Structure 1
Amino acid sequence: MVRRTRPALTLLCWGYQVTTHSEVSGPVSGAESRATSPGRPATSDDRLLAALLDGMEAALFAVDPSGRVTHWNRKAERMLGWTREQAVGRTGLGGWAVREADAADVMDRLLAALRPPTGGGRPFQEFPLLRKDGGRVLVRANATAMRDPDGRPTGVYCAFGEAHAQLDLERNLALSEALLGDCDTWATVLVDADLRTVAVNDAAAEALGVTPVDMLGEPLGEFFGAGLDELESGLEQALAGQPPAGPVELWLTLLDDDSRDDDRFGDPAPAGGPPGGPRRCLTSGFLRLGSPAAPEPAPLGVAWVFQDVTRARRHAQGAARQRFRDGQLSRAARAAADCEDPLDAAMLQLHYALAGFADHALLDTASSRAAGAANAAHVGHLVRIAESPGTFGAAPAARGVVVRYRQGHPALQALERGMPVRATGGVSRSTWAVEHRWPKDAEHALCVVLRSRGRSLGVLTFLRGASRRPFDRSDAAYGEDVALRVAAAIDLHGLAGGGGGAR
C-alpha cells in the first residue's frame, strides 16, 4: 500500500525548531498499515501541530500572505484575552489586536519576513498589541516565514512575549554571564541540589587554587577540609529557602594545597598544624536558584558568591593581638612595680603573659653550681624557680629543684645560642612532652633565653596544647619582650642578695 500526505511542516520560534511528522511517498510496512487501519485512527499533522502550538510557553499566532489569522495558541489567549475562535479567520489585526493607526505598520513588519533576508539571524521587533479589555501591552516579537516544499511563502508565524518580561529575562541572563564570566571582584560557585559543583567562574577558581574544570561535578568535600560543615550548612539553609540573613565569614582549609610552603600572602603555612593547605577567610553569600517555569519554584541549586578577605582579616587579627599584648605588658609592669620582692614581680610577669598566649610557663635559671651559662648548657643544669599554672592539670614541679634536660633539649639550645627556639611535638609523638620533661599535654613550645647585663641567666619556656596553633615569629618576639622584663627582675633579685636560684 502507498500513501501520500503533505510534506513536513517546520516551525521556528524563540530559537527552537519543531518539525511535524513527515510522510513521503513509498511503501508502508505492515505495522504502519495496521496503525492507519480503520480501527486505529492516525493523528493528523494539523492536530499534532495544534498540540505543539498550545503547549508552547511563548504566545504565538500566524497569518497567511494576505494577512488572515490562521493560528492562535493558548498562551496568546491568556496574554491578550482573545480566544482562538475570536481570532482565527480574521483578516488583519487592526481594530481588535492592534490599534487602527498601528495596524498597517505592524502587518508590514510581520509580512517582511516573507521577503528574502538581508542580514544574518532573525531580529526581534517591538510593537504594541491590544488586550480584549482595551489595555495595551508592548510585546517583543519574532516573525518567521513559512514556505511550502517548493519554497513559496505560505504565511508568517509570530512568537511574542511581554517586552518587559523579555528584558528581565535578558538582564538575568546577562547577570549570570557577568558573574560566571567577566567578574573579577566576586567569586561565584554554582552547586546543584546535591551540593555538587556545576559552574565556577575564574575568580573562584583562582581563589581556591583549582581550574574550573576540576570542580565540575565534584562534591565540595573534595576541595575543603576544616570549615566544610559550616559551608554545607549555609548551602543547605539556602536550598531550604532560609539563607543566612547577611554575609557570613567562613574560614576554610583548602585541600591539596599543602605542597606550597608559603601561601600567596607571604605567611608561612603552619608546620604541624591541621592537615591541608593554608586557611582562607571567605566573606560569603548564598542565593537560592529556583525554576521560574515551574508552578511552584523548584530548587535548581545555590549560587555561592564570596570574596577572599584573608589578608585583611589576618592583618586585623594581628593588630588586635598586638594591642592586647601591649596592654598586658603595661598592666604587668604596673603590677610588678608594687612588688617588694623582684622574684614576685617576675612571677607576675609570667601570669600576665599567659593570657591568650600560652597554656603554661616554666622559669628556669642557670644553676649556681655551673661556672657560666655555657657550662650550664653543656651539663644541662637548670634550676626551676617558678612556673605559671595552666590548663594541663599536672602537679606543679617543686621549686628550687635542678631540672636535668637531656642533651639537645630546646631550652638548652636557646641558652647556648642566645636566641628563641620553637619546637612542635606532632600528633604521632605521644611521648614527646614527657621526654622533654614538660607536662604531658604540651604540644608546642617556645624557649626564650633570659638576658640581663650581657649575661644569660636562664630560660623561659612557654607551652601550648594540641588544640592551639604552633608558635610563630610574632609569638617569639612577644616572648622575648616578656623575657627581658623577667630577666631584669631576676637580676635585681640576685643583686639584692637573693641569688640566682630559688628563694
Structure 2
Amino acid sequence: MSASRRSGTTDELGPDEPGPDGPEGSGGSDLLAALLDGMDAALCAFDADGVLTHWNREAERILGWTAEEAVGRHGFAGWAVRSADAEEVEGRLMSAMHAPGRQVHEFALLTKDGGRVLVRTQSAAVRGPDGKPAGVYCAFSEVHAQIDLERSIALSEALFEDASWGVVLVDADLRPAVVNAHAARALGTGRTSLLGRPLGELLAQGVEELESALTHVLAEGAPPAPAEIWVSVRTPEGEKRRCWRSGFLRLASPLAEEPVPLGVGWLFQDVTEAKQGEQEAALLRFRGNQLHRAARAAAECEDPAEAATVHLDFALAGFADHALIDRVAGGALSDAESVGPVRLVRVAGTPSGAPGPSLLAGQAGLPTRYGEGHPALQCVERIGTVRASVGSVSPEQARAWALARQWPPDAVHALCAVLRSRGRTLGVVTFLRGSGRSAFERSDTVYAEDVAVRIAAALDLAGLLGERPD
C-alpha cells in the first residue's frame, strides 16, 4: 500500500504493475483523486485491515479533517468517533465487506473542532480481481441534509400527484414539461397531451399575459405576491372564462456553478367564482349609489321631465352607451283598455354624436317609425322587459339592424323596460350598448326596471302638472 498525501488516496498495486511514480500509476491516481473530489457526497474507503485509504474534499468539509490527516489512520477511533463508540461503528462499517449489497447506518462522527455530526452512511464491499473482499467504501452525508433532500423529493412528488391546486413546470421555451392532474383538468385535457405544447394552443385568451409573467420570472425571479390572471380555456364544449390566482417560482439547477434557469414552477388556483362574486357585489354597490345620487339630483329639479332625464343620465354610467325614452301617444294606457296598434313618441334621448347629457324632445308629438315587432312595442304589449341583440353578423349588417329599429348605428344590444305608474303604461325606456360591451343579462334587467320606475314616476308627475290649470 502506498499513500498519496497530495491527493489523499492510496492505490493497491499488483506485483506486475508499475509503481505510483511511473506515468500510468501517477495518472490513474490523479484521475481518481479528481473524481472523488468532484463528488457531492462525502466518500471514504478502508482496506481489509480497516486502514483508511481514500478521503475526499466533501468528507473534509463535513468533518474538518484533511486528506493528509485522515488517510493512513486505522479506523475512526479516537479522532472521528468517540472511543466508546469506535468498536460498534467500525464493526457496522466493516460488516459490509461480507454482506451482499449496500448497508445503511446512522451514527455520530466527531469534527476536528470537537463537535458532533449525525451522518447517514451507505457502505458496500470492494472486491479485488479474484472476487474476494478487499475493503469497504463508505459514502456519507449529514442526516439533516439527507432529510432535506428526501423532503424536497417527497414535496415535489406530492405536488405533482395530490395537490388540490394546479402545478405546472414550464421549461425555458415556455412549454409545459410536467403537469399535475389538477392543472390538466383546469386546462381541459390530459396530463401527457399537454407536454411540449405551446400555451397558445390551450388558451384562447390570456396567453399573452401568462407568457409575459413567465418570461419575467425567468429573467428577474419570482414576483413578491400572487397574480390574478383571466384566461379563456379551449375545451370541447367551447371556451370557458376562468380567473386563476397564480404564483411563480424560478427553477435553477442546484448542480450548476451559475444559476442557469431550468424553467418556471407555476402554481395556480381557480378563483373564478370568488372573483365573480366580488365583481357582482361591487357592481351592486355602484348601481345602488347611482340610484341614490340620481334621486338626490332629481329632487332638485323643478321640472319633472328634467328629473326623468337626470335618472336616465345617472343610469348610463357603466351600464349602456345610449338611452331613449318613448312615451305612449295620448298619455298612458290602462290594462283594461282595448287598444289598437300602440304608437310611441320620443320624449328624451342621449345625443347620437358626441357623448353628453340627455335632451328632451318630442314637442311636435310625431310618433316614431317603429316597425311591427319592434322591441319597444313588444315591451308595451307584454308589459315586461325585452332584450335584443344583433348576434354574430358583419359590421354592415349590424349597422343596418340598428338603423332599421331607429337606433344609433353603433347599437348591437338593446334592453327595453316598460314605464309604469299608477297601474298604467306610460311608455318605454330603451338602453343600448355598442360592440365594446357584452349583451344585457338578467341581472341588468333588474337595474333597468329600477331606473324605469323612477323615470315613470317623474313622467307621470310631469303629465299631472301639465294637465293642471294655471
In structure 2, what is the Cα distance between the partners aligned to 1:377 and 1:200? 67
Identity of paired residues, percent? 56
Rounded to whole Å, the distance in 1 between the matches of 2:113 and 2:34 is 27
- 1:356, CA displacement in angstroms? 1.9
User: Considering only aligned residues, what root-mean-square deviation do their CA atoms show, in Å?
Assistant: 3.4
Match of 1:254, SS?
A: strand
Q: Which stretch of structure 1 is more off in the superposition, 298-307 or 84-93?
A: 84-93
Q: How does 1:193-272 map to 2 (within 5 A)?
A: 193-256=172-235, 259=237
Give, as a single letter, the amino acid of the residue that structure 2 aligns with 1:236: T
SS in 1 for 2:384: coil
Native 8 Å contact 1:225 1:253 kept in 2: yes
Q: Counterpart of 1:357 in structure 2: which amino acid?
A: F
Task: Report how many aligned residue pairs link the two structures.
Answer: 439
Find the counterpart in structure 2 of residue 474 from structure 1: 443
| Residue 167, structure 1, aligned to residue 147, structure 2 | yes
Partner of 2:277: 315
CA distance in 1 between partners of 2:458 and 2:331 (Å): 21
Contact 1:94 1:103 in 2 (8 A): yes
Distance (Å, rounded) in 2 between the aligned partners of 1:371 and 1:162: 91
Does residue 299 (structure 1) correspond to residue 261 (structure 2)? The answer is: yes
CA offset at residue 421 of structure 1?
Answer: 2.0
Task: State the distance in 1 between where 2:247 and 2:258 align.
Answer: 24
Distance 1:438 1:373 in 2: 28
Q: Normalising to structure 2: TM-score of the pair?
A: 0.82
User: Are the counterparts in 1 of residues 390 and 412 from structure 2 also a CA contact under 8 Å?
Assistant: yes
* 108-117 vs 349-358, greater mean Cα deviation: 108-117
Provide the C-alpha distance between the structure 2 equivalents of 1:391 and 1:175, rounded to a whole number of angstroms: 62
Q: Distance in 1 between matches of 2:25 and 2:373?
A: 95
Structure 1, residues 45-69: CA drift from partner, whole Å, max 9, x if none?
Answer: 8776555434322121111332122
1:476 shift after superposition: 0.8
- For 1:398 and 1:376, the matched residues in 2 are separated by 30
For 1:457, the aligned partner's letter is L
Gaps of 5+ in 1: 1-39, 261-275
Trace 1:272-421 onto structure 2 (pairs within 5 A): 276-278=239-241, 280-368=242-330, 381-389=343-351, 399-400=361-362, 401-421=366-386
Q: Which moved further from structure 2: 476-485 or 446-455? A: 446-455
TM-aligned CA deviation for residue 427 of structure 1:
5.7
2:421 aligns with one of 437, 448, 452: 452
TM-score of the pair, normalised by structure 1: 0.77
Change (3 A) 1:202 1:122: farther
> Residue 107 in 1 paired to residue 126 in 2?
no
> Could you list the runs of 5+ residues in structure 2 that have no partner in the other structure?
1-22
Counterpart-to-counterpart distance in 2, 1:129 and 1:232: 50
1:463 corresponds to: 432
- Equivalents in 1 of 2:292, 2:230: separation in Å? 32
CA spacing shift, 1:145–1:418, aligned 2, 3 Å: farther
Deviation of 1:398 after TM superposition, in Å, equals 8.4
Partner residue, 1:31 = none
1:145 is the counterpart of 2:125 = yes
For residues 49-60 of structure 1, the aligned pairs below 5 Å read 52-60=35-43
371-380 or 358-367: bigger deviation: 371-380
Q: Is the 8 A contact 2:334 2:424 kept in 1?
A: no
- d(CA) in 2 for partners of 1:489, 1:359: 22
Q: Does 1:182 align with 2:144?
A: no
Contact 1:146 1:155 in 2 (8 A): yes
Specify the alignment match of 2:14 in structure 1.
none
1:98 matched to which residue of 2? 81
Task: Write the distance in 2 (CA, Å) between the matches of 1:405 and 1:147.
Answer: 102
